[in-house]
Amino acid sequence: MSEIMDALNEIEKEKGIDKEVLMETIEKAIVDAYKRDKNNDIEMQVVMDRETGAFSAYVERRVVEKVENPSTEISLEEARMIDPNYDVDDVVKTELQPKNFGRISAQNARNVIVQKIKEEERKSIFNHFQCKEKDVVTGVVQRYIGKNVCISLDDKTDAILTENEQIPGETFYPTERVKLYIVEVKENNKGPRILVSRTHKDLVKRLFEKEVAEVADGVVEIKNISREAGSRSKIAVYSNDSNVDPVGACVGLNGARVNAIVDDLHGEKIDIITWNENPAIYIKNALSPSSVVSVTVDLDEKTARVVVPDNQLSLAIGKEGQNARLAARLTGYKIDIKSESQVEDYEDDSELEEDGYEEYDETGDGYDENEEGYEDADVEESDVEDTDAEDTESEESEEEESETTEDEE
């Protein structure tokens, strides 16, 4: 019987199924198979030794004066032939020998056990990955299935990275290791279905938690993230310890920490800015890397007017409006960006030419300004300390962006 225990121990180790569950399954399978084979309603009990794997099978029958159902009852006379101490309503246990089970019973028991092992294996995998839901895992690329990618999460589990959840322009190669965000784990008859993503904004958050100890410990808090996967992300951070610089902690020595995350995202640029409870300062920081002259916010309407130097307008707006769009999503404010000369023209003419400024909200659409609704929440550049916002781009990249700015102007 030691061979049975060896097999159970191996299954427990390889498939992660509790050995006790397997033993209970074997006991139940033997009972069900025997009863099905004999086609009766006998009361049967199977006990498997947890140490040796040996099992004993008993048929239970109640002692009665007159037998009506021989499968579940035994006469008092017959019972006392087994043991003189039996009386009416006692239960007599008669041991069955394995040879009496028959080939069909054994086969049925085997099928039940195999089915149970499969069910428990699926359950084990589901429980394992359900604990990782909303977290990051590392997978190994297997192959392309059309435009989707099959990725192995471990020796037993694969996930499909759909085209919609892939970073635009990203190409994968077999055996390549990639970081994935587990969006959801669903259970079905064929095993757990694991939905993974490379575009989810929380992927950036989880990567920072794993790379930056201060974030994992809660000293540095990630307040919000806005992301356009494959292009640029903006992340607002705040330190709960005055002695810890939140931006510096996330960037790391010589940019080591943030560069590791950029590599995981295949070159996606990341702007790290300091969160501030003052919305005007927060918006100013969010528009990094551009300079800001002043910010006026309407707290009720959740709108803001931003004035930037003439040579910074295109940089503040960004290529195709990306910088302003990400800043709006990050702060939750609709943002209207104007240059200093446009503001002067407005003050001189008492009206602003329609094509003299750009308006951006969280969706990139314009909004109707309501001048009377704006509260006095101006923040002049001289009144605000230099932002700690850091751009992960190198100086060379900043020069290229400046050239792009000139072209756009």
Task: Tell me what the pLDDT averaged over the chain comes to.
Answer: 80
Q: Are 284 and 296 in contact (CB under 8 A)?
A: no
Residue with the larger pLDDT of the pair 335 and 28:
335
Per-residue model confidence as pLDDT tens digits over 355-371: 433 443 433 333 333 33
pLDDT of residue 39: 57
pLDDT of residue 59: 81
Mean pLDDT within 129-149: 93
User: What pLDDT band is residue 405 in, cutting at 50, 70 and 90?
Assistant: very low
pLDDT of residue 362: 39
Residue with the larger pLDDT of the pair 320 and 71:
320
Per-residue model confidence as pLDDT tens digits over 283-331: 999 999 999 999 999 989 999 999 999 999 999 999 999 999 999 999 9
The CA–CA distances, whole Å, from 304 to 11, 301, 338 equal: 63, 9, 11
Q: If DSSP codes are grouped into helix, strand and coil, which group holds residue 27?
A: helix
The answer, yes or no, to whether residue 392 has pLDDT greater than 60, is no
DSSP code per residue over 66-82: S-S-TTTEEEHHHHHHH
State how far the Cα of 6 lies from the Cα of 52, in Å rounded to an integer. 10
Mean pLDDT within 37-41: 65
Residue with the larger pLDDT of the pair 276 and 3:
276
For the whole model, what pTM was predicted?
A: 0.68
pLDDT > 90 in the chain, percent: 45
pLDDT of residue 138: 94
Per-residue model confidence as pLDDT tens digits over 79-106: 888 888 888 888 888 877 665 555 666 6
Residue 197: count other Cβ atoms within 10 Å of its Cβ: 20
Six-digit token string for 16: 């992660």
Q: Are 297 and 375 in contact (CB under 8 A)?
A: yes
Per-residue model confidence as pLDDT tens digits over 116-125: 888 888 888 8
Residue 179's closest CA among 144, 139, 229? 139
Q: Could you tell me the domains of the chain?
A: 2-126 (3.30.1480.10), 132-199 (2.40.50.140), 201-274 (3.30.300.20), 276-409 (3.30.300.20)
User: What pLDDT band is residue 398 in, cutting at 50, 70 and 90?
Assistant: very low
DSSP code per residue over 161-200: E-GGGSPTT----TT-EEEEEEEEEEEETTEEEEEEESS-
Mean pLDDT within 52-80: 82
Query: Torsions phi, psi of 166, nearest 5?
Result: -95, 145
Per-residue model confidence as pLDDT tens digits over 175-212: 999 999 999 998 877 778 899 999 999 999 999 999 99
Residue with the larger pLDDT of the pair 277 and 344:
277
Q: Which of 25-39, 246-260, 340-354 has the highest mean pLDDT?
A: 246-260
Q: If DSSP codes are grouped into helix, strand and coil, which group holds residue 270?
A: strand
State how far the Cα of 335 lies from the Cα of 50, in Å rounded to an integer. 70
